[in-house]
């Protein structure tokens, strides 16, 4: 099929590249010329495992094109995917300006009938709104059907998720349009759920809200564990072995971040408020997450008093491992709070430094070497569970730091390891001990 993907970000690029790899003829469109030029040269502007070789292969075989030209992108296609961003407005609602703008542009360029797929995460009712925008602005003789096809890929394993996702959701009022999407995806052999448009839009928000709830739930349990002397590792393993609950998303830590959970939970809470149903559970989930992200600096202040002039290493900037995305990352809040307290911050990340430099400029020193980050540091805060951090030997903290104190927001090391190396090691939801085995009081 002939497909255009409108918006070449984390979702659009992976979708476009992988659809080309399935044999479709794909044009990826973006308004950022720099991004498109990089892509035309075969380089991915984002860090995503396995993406670049597939990108280069499909440019070479002529199935994958990149453009900033709306006419070239939208005039004639079987399908157009909308994958532009839907960031958060200051009041928590989804900002739909990019979706609305791209809908208008598409309508203005159409020369043939087409199916438009809403892949961006949008509040219930938006796909119908986009149908209206296009109806009102397209050439009158053309038939356009807008369907909902929410995206569930996870950054860091997005290519794998494209090929082996759990389900594909297609929301449509039109059987033929739904059948075209089914045909597009059929080589993947992923179960497809066909439903109405509003339910499809809701499935996406409800999925993210449920996962966020699981995270905040285990984090609340972890706080209780700390207070009563239980160990969250044992508790999570015990809970997760119940098949009705499952082991996933039960890792206690300093909360969820990224470009989806924070904004989608807030957008769903807002949506619920708009229909006079305060979503109290979700509001609590959001509150717990905000509190969780502040834990490392709170714990640091409790243990060290003032942080003024202290040298702090923040290990991990990306919101999770295997991505360079730092949107809503816990590290941003931690670094900001540390700077506000007068600390001198060096931050380590293997891939996210260019994005972090855009946020903090010269206020923070950056390095892609853990050793360099912790050299002469008074405190190390682990914010992302990169393998590079998990595999970094604990004894080196003692060797490189002034007086090794680690606040581990992702429980990367075992308590036994910390004890063996006599390191002051504070983690999340686990009994707190000093290197000498005596308990550290956090109350």
Ligand X SMILES: NC(=O)c1ccc[n+]([C@@H]2O[C@H](COP(=O)([O-])OP(=O)(O)OC[C@H]3O[C@@H](n4cnc5c(N)ncnc54)[C@H](O)[C@@H]3O)[C@@H](O)[C@H]2O)c1
Identify the burial level of 300 via C-beta atoms within 10 angstroms of its C-beta, where 0-12 means exposed, 13-18 middle and 19 or more buried. Answer: buried
123 binds ligand X (CB under 6 A): no
259 binds ligand X (CB under 6 A): yes
Of 10 and 425, the one with the shorter C-beta distance to ligand X is 10
Of 108 and 431, the one with the shorter C-beta distance to ligand X is 108
Of 29 and 170, the one with the shorter C-beta distance to ligand X is 29
Edge-to-edge strands, sheet with 405-408 = 365-367, 344-348, 311-315, 379-382, 405-408, 424-426
Among 2, 32, 214, 375, binds ligand X (CB under 6 A): 32
7 binds ligand X (CB under 6 A): yes
Identify the burial level of 195 via C-beta atoms within 10 angstroms of its C-beta, where 0-12 means exposed, 13-18 middle and 19 or more buried. Answer: middle
Active site residues: 260
How many residues line the site for ligand X (CB under 6 A)?
27
262 binds ligand X (CB under 6 A): no
Residues 6 or more apart whose CB falls under 8 angstroms from that of 147 comprise: 115, 116, 117, 118, 127, 170, 171, 172, 174, 177, 178, 181, 197
DSSP letter, residue 315: E
Instruction: Map residue 143 onto helix, strand or coil.
Output: coil
Q: How many helices (H) and strands (E) does the chain have?
A: 18, 14
Of 84 and 377, the one with the shorter C-beta distance to ligand X is 84
Instruction: Map residue 311 onto helix, strand or coil.
Output: strand
Among 3, 4, 10, 285, binds ligand X (CB under 6 A): 10
Residues 6 or more apart whose CB falls under 8 angstroms from that of 10 comprise: 46, 48, 153, 155, 158, 259, 325
Residue list 338-367, contact with ligand X (CB under 6 A): none
At its nearest, how many Å lie between ligand X and the CB of residue 129? 15
Of 83 and 180, the one with the shorter C-beta distance to ligand X is 83
4 binds ligand X (CB under 6 A): no
Binding string to ligand X for residues 185 to 224, with x set by CB under 6 A, is what? ----------------------------------------
Segment lying near ligand X (by CB under 6 A), choices 8-16, 53-61, 132-140, 385-393:
8-16
Residue least distant from ligand X (Cβ): 9
Among 18, 19, 26, 29, binds ligand X (CB under 6 A): 29
Residue list 149-178, contact with ligand X (CB under 6 A): 151, 153, 155
At its nearest, how many Å lie between ligand X and the CB of residue 15? 9
At its nearest, how many Å lie between ligand X and the CB of residue 45? 8
Q: Measured between alpha carbons, how far is 232 from 218 in angstroms, rounded to an integer?
A: 8
What's phi and psi for 65, nearest 5 deg? -125, 160
Residue list 55-114, contact with ligand X (CB under 6 A): 83-86, 98, 101-102, 105
Q: Which residues bind ligand X (CB under 6 A)?
A: 6-12, 29-32, 35, 83-86, 98, 101-102, 105, 120-121, 151, 153, 155, 259-260
């Amino acid at each position: 099929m002939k497909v255009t993907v409108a918006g070449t970000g984390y979702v659009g690029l992976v979708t476009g590249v992988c659809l080309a790899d399935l044999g479709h003829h794909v044009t990826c469109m973006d308004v950022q010329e720099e991004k498109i030029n990089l892509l035309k040269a075969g380089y991915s502007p984002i860090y995503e495992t396995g993406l670049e070789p597939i990108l280069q292969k499909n440019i070479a075989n002529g199935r994958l094109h990149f453009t900033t030209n709306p006419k070239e992108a939208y005039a004639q296609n079987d399908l157009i995917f909308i994958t532009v961003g839907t960031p958060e407005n200051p009041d928590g609602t989804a900002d739909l300006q990019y979706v609305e703008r791209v809908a208008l542009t598409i309508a203005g360029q159409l020369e043939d009938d087409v199916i438009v797929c809403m892949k961006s995460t949008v509040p219930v009712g938006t796909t119908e709104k986009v149908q209206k925008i296009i109806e009102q602005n397209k050439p009158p003789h053309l038939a356009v059907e807008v369907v909902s096809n929410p995206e569930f890929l996870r950054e860091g394993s997005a290519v794998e998720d494209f090929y082996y996702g759990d389900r594909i959701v297609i929301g449509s009022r039109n059987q033929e349009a739904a059948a075209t999407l089914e045909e597009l995806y059929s080589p993947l052999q992923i179960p497809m759920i066909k439903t109405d448009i509003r339910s499809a839009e809701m499935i996406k928000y409800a999925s993210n809200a449920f996962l966020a709830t699981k995270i905040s739930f285990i984090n609340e349990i972890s706080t209780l564990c700390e207070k009563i002397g239980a160990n969250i590792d044992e508790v999570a393993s015990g809970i997760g072995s119940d098949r009705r609950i499952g082991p996933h998303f039960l890792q206690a830590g300093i909360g969820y971040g990224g470009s989806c959970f924070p904004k989608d939970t807030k957008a769903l809470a807002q949506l619920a408020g708009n229909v006079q149903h305060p979503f109290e559970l979700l509001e609590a989930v959001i509150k717990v997450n905000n509190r969780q992200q502040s834990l490392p600096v709170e714990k640091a202040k409790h243990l060290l008093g003032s942080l003024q002039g202290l040298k702090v290493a923040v290990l991990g900037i990306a919101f999770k491992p295997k991505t360079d995305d730092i949107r809503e990352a816990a590290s941003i809040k931690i670094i900001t709070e540390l700077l506000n307290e007068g600390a001198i911050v060096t931050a380590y990340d293997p891939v996210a430094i260019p994005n972090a430099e855009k946020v903090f400029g010269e206020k923070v020193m950056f390095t892609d070497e853990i050793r360099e980050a912790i050299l002469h540091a008074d405190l190390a805060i682990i914010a992302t569970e990169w393998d590079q951090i998990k595999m970094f030997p604990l004894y080196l903290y003692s060797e490189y730091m002034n007086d090794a104190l680690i606040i581990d927001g992702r429980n990367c090391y075992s308590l036994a390891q910390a004890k063996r190396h006599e390191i002051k090691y504070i983690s999340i939801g686990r009994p707190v001990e000093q290197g000498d085995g005596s308990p550290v009081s956090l109350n």
